[in-house]
Chains A and B, each alone.
Chain A
Amino acid sequence: MRDKNIKIEVTDGAAIPSRKDPGLFNAWRVTLIGTIISIVSLVIFKPDPYLRIIKFVPDGIIITFQVTFLSIALSLIVGLFTGLGRLSKNRTINLIASIYVEVIRGIPLLVQLFYIYYALGSFFKIHPFTAAITAMTVCYGAYMGEVFRAGIQSIDKGQTEAARSLGFSKSQTMFYVIIPQAMRTILPPVGNEFIALLKDTSLVSILAVSDLLRRGREFATQTFAYFETYTMIALLYLMITLILSKIVSILEERVKPYDQK
């Protein structure tokens, strides 16, 4: 039968804490506690400017989350079609999907953001928020496509043959048999991409989208408290990604082998 322990390695997400690391002082716990202590003590012992920063940035956190979740949802859809396209036997579809992945992976996200907002923006008016979501989706759609492709390819060929021999068409086989199984393999790397994407949303601050980083910059330019502001922004990002990586690790844990339901 198929190997139940297939894992797809993805490079740029945060470290996902392992639940098998039993120590009280594992890296995740120490970092999280350190972060919380830092934030709390800075706010208590030096409320000016740290408390003021904390009060200034929540709108930014909301925008950061909005960009993250919208981009994730859209890039999952783009990714599914890209992954299927990369596996297609139709040479044209396959080529289009492969070129898309090659092009996107070869251009820095920041350049893509500039390109969509400023370069394409010179032809038609585009809202910064829309440009941000579009760029993130186009970029992460390509990465997600590779994750989907790997996930689908990890399913044993015998599964396809069994489904086809019963009379299922190609698309029914994909939909009823392959993708439901691939989801389990795909979940951890998708979680990883999720965290990487959240961090990368900080780039959209360059397009005048008032995300967490942008709000921090606004505060810093008003008060000249650069050191304090960016210290707090870094700590806030760190806390968000730590919590997210924990959620991903819990999800990963819940994806049990089929015989443990």
Chain B
Amino acid sequence: MTKSDDPIITIENVYKFFGDIEALSNVSLKVKKKEKMVIIGPSGSGKSTLLRAINRLEGVDRGKIVIDGQDITDKNCNINKVRMELGMVFQNFNLFPHKSVLQNLTMAPIKLKKIPQAQARENAMSLLEKVGIKEKATAYPAQLSGGQQQRVAIARALAMNPKIMLFDEPTSALDPEMIGEVLDVMVNLALEGMTMVVVTHEMGFARQVADWVVFMDEGKIVETGTPEHFFQSPEHPRTKKFLSQIL
């Protein structure tokens, strides 16, 4: 058992190369239970690569990543087990188009956790209610708007009852008027005490929710701090420049 003070995610001296390009360069991070970490940075800064390394969608070349006591950089680690504890939400939703909304939510719990169908459906319906989309349970993903699809995707990840939620630019593919509905769901999730790592360009969300903001550039962590520190008195010139461009 991990004490609540122990980090649930530990990233130590991680390197990742794409050919000659250093996508991650000596990155170290710790996230404690119930903490919300927001990673920001220009495109190509390695922030998505870092997030994807946390559930090994992207393997790393050097360094160590430990999730809830499990070293996922160890080849003998059962990554599928670890991933069940790690919900992930993608920029492009990636719902299963051949399954209804309800089936998108129940598939993994039924097949992987062997939860009885009736119970899985019940859980799924309450999650859909939580993300405000219960009436679309029988619809297919293609019948939903982008915002609705992303809310279903969040519910699908939550259906596995994960300990940590990873968000990879969850609002970047959305029309502006749909961003709010997705952020609302994420804020509520944060208020409930979910451990979250979020890659985003939504600075309002970072300000409101984050315990820590991490600024990355060229594969390195440039600056880490509380939102107050970040948005009021950033230290590093690169951070100042980035913030002045987007705020």
Contacts and interface: CB of A to CB of B under 8 A. Distances in A.
Contact of B160 (A2, A167, A180, A261): A167
Contacts of A154: none
B57 A158 contact: no
Contacts of A168: 80, 108, 111-112
Interface string A219-257: 000000000000000000000000000000000000001
Contacts of B92: 1, 158
Interface string B7-29: 00000000000000000000000
Contacts of B96: 159, 162-163, 177, 181
Contacts of B140: 258-259, 261
Contact of A1 (B87, B97, B98): B97
A228 B53 CA distance: 72
A233 B23 CA distance: 66
Interface in A1-44: 1-2, 4
A161 interface: yes
Contact of A2 (B97, B111, B143): B97
A161 B88 CA distance: 9
Given A181-B97, A257-B142, A258-B98, A161 B90 contact: yes
Interface string A107-137: 0000000000000000000000000000000
Chain B: number of interface residues, binned into ranges: 20 to 34
A166 B160 CA distance: 7
Given A167-B108, A168-B111, A259-B142, A162 B94 contact: yes
A154 to B, nearest CB: 13
Interface of A: 1-2, 4, 156, 158-159, 161-169, 172, 176-177, 180-181, 184, 257-259, 261
Interface of B: 55, 57, 80-81, 83-84, 86-88, 90, 92-98, 107-108, 111-112, 140-143, 153, 156-157, 160
19 contacts: A1-B93, A1-B141, A2-B97, A159-B94, A161-B90, A164-B57, A165-B55, A165-B57, A167-B80, A167-B81, A168-B108, A168-B112, A172-B111, A172-B112, A176-B111, A181-B98, A184-B98, A258-B98, A259-B142
